[in-house]
Amino acid sequence: MFDHEDFGEFAEHLEDMVQRKQYAELRILLSPLEAADIAQGMARTEDHYLPVIFRLLPKELAADVFVELDSDQQEMLIQGFSNAELKEVLDELYLDDAVDIVEEMPATVVKRILKNADPETRKSINEILKYPEDSAGSIMTTEFVDLKSSMTVEDALKRIRRNAFDMETINVSYVIDDDRHLLGFVSIRDLLLADDDDIIADIMEQNYISVQTLDDQEAVARALSKYDYLALPVVDTENRLVGIVTVDDAMDVLQEEVTEDIEKMAAILPTEKPYLKTTTFETFKARIPWLLLLMVSATFTGQIISSFEAALASCTILTAYIPMLMDTGGNCGGQASVTVIRGISLSEIEFSDLLQVIWKEIRVAAVCGLTLAVANFGKLMIVDRLLFHNSAITVTVALVICLTMVCAVICAKVVGCTLPMFAKQLGFDPAVMASPFITTIVDAISLLIYFRFATMILGI
Looking at residues 299 to 318 of the shown chain, list those that interact with its own copies (rule: CB under 8 A).
299, 301-303, 305-306, 309, 312-313, 316-317
Rounded to an integer, what distance in angstroms lies between the CA atom of residue 373 and that of residue 355? 26
Residue 135: partners with Cβ closer than 8 Å, 6 or more residues away = 213, 214, 215, 216, 217
137 binds its own copies (CB under 8 A): no
Which parts of 227-246 interact with its own copies (CB under 8 A)?
227-228, 230
Interface pick for its own copies out of 327, 394, 452, 458 (rule CB under 8 A): 327
Binding of its own copies at residue 49 (CB under 8 A)?
no
Pairwise CA distance, residues 333 & 338, whole Å = 8
- CA-angle at 244, arms to 238 and 248, nearest 5°: 150
List of residues 6+ apart from 119 with CB closer than 8 A: none
**Site stretch for its own copies (CB under 8 A), options 74-82, 107-115, 154-162, 234-242:** 154-162
With CB under 8 A as the contact rule, which of the stretches 48-56, 106-114, 118-126, 161-169 interacts with its own copies? 161-169
Which is nearer to its own copies, 199 or 286 (by Cβ)? 286
Q: Select 92 or 252, whichever has its Cβ closest to its own copies.
A: 252
In angstroms, give the least distance from the CB of 388 to its own copies: 8
What CA–CA distances, in Å, run from 387 to 322, 373, 397? 21, 19, 17
- C-alpha 79/C-alpha 69 separation (Å) is 15
For residue 214, state whether it binds its own copies (rule: CB under 8 A): no
**Could you say whether residue 287 binds its own copies (CB under 8 A)?**
yes
Determine which residue in the list 28, 251, 395, 456 makes contact with its own copies, applying CB under 8 A.
Answer: 251
Work out the burial of residue 197: count CB atoms within 10 Å of its CB; fewer than 13 is exposed, 13-18 middle, 19 or more buried: exposed
Residue 74 CB burial class (10 angstroms; 0-12, 13-18, ≥19)? buried
Q: Does 457 bind its own copies (CB under 8 A)?
A: no
Closest listed residue to residue 149, CA positions, set 170, 179, 171: 179
Q: Looking at 52, 322, 358, 458, which residue binds its own copies (CB under 8 A)?
A: 322
Between residues 23 and 290, which has the closer beta carbon with respect to its own copies?
290
Binders in 354-413 for its own copies, by CB under 8 A: 356-357, 360, 363-364, 367-368, 371-372, 375-376, 379, 383-384, 390
Can you tell me which of 19, 123, 164, 428 binds its own copies, judged by CB under 8 A?
164
Would you say how long the chain is, in residues?
Answer: 460
Nearer to its own copies, 150 or 356 (CB): 356
255 contacts its own copies (rule: CB under 8 A): yes
28 scored as a contact of its own copies (CB under 8 A): no
Residue 77 CB, shortest distance to its own copies, in Å, is 20
Residues β-bridged to residue 199: 152
Shortest reach from residue 127's CB to its own copies, in Å: 23
What's the per-residue H, E or C state across 225-288?
A: HHHCCCEEEEECCCCEEEEEEEHHHHHHHHHHHHHHHHHHHCCCCCCCCCHHHCCHHHHHHHHH
Q: Which of residues 107-126 bind its own copies (CB under 8 A)?
A: none
- Asked whether position 350 contacts its own copies by CB under 8 A, the answer is yes
- Give the other-Cβ count within 10 Å of 271's Cβ: 17
Closest CA to 184 of 193, 195, 175: 175
| Segment interacting with its own copies (CB under 8 A) among 22-30, 106-114, 120-128, 286-294 | 286-294
Smallest distance, its own copies to C-beta of residue 90, A: 19
- Contacts to its own copies from residues 74-103, by CB under 8 A: none
Give 111 or 363: the residue with its C-beta nearer to its own copies: 363
Residue 283 C-beta: closest distance to its own copies, Å: 5
Query: Within positions 178 to 197, which residues make up the interface with its own copies, using CB under 8 A?
Result: 188-189, 192-193
Q: Which of 268, 217, 200, 210 is nearest to 238 (CA)?
A: 210
Among 48, 80, 150, 346, binds its own copies (CB under 8 A): 346
Name the nearest CA neighbour of 116 among 78, 67, 65: 78
In the chain, how long is the greatest CA-to-CA distance?
94
Torsion of Cα atoms, 349 then 353 then 354 then 360, to 10°: -90
Our CB check for its own copies shows the closer of 109 and 448 to be 448
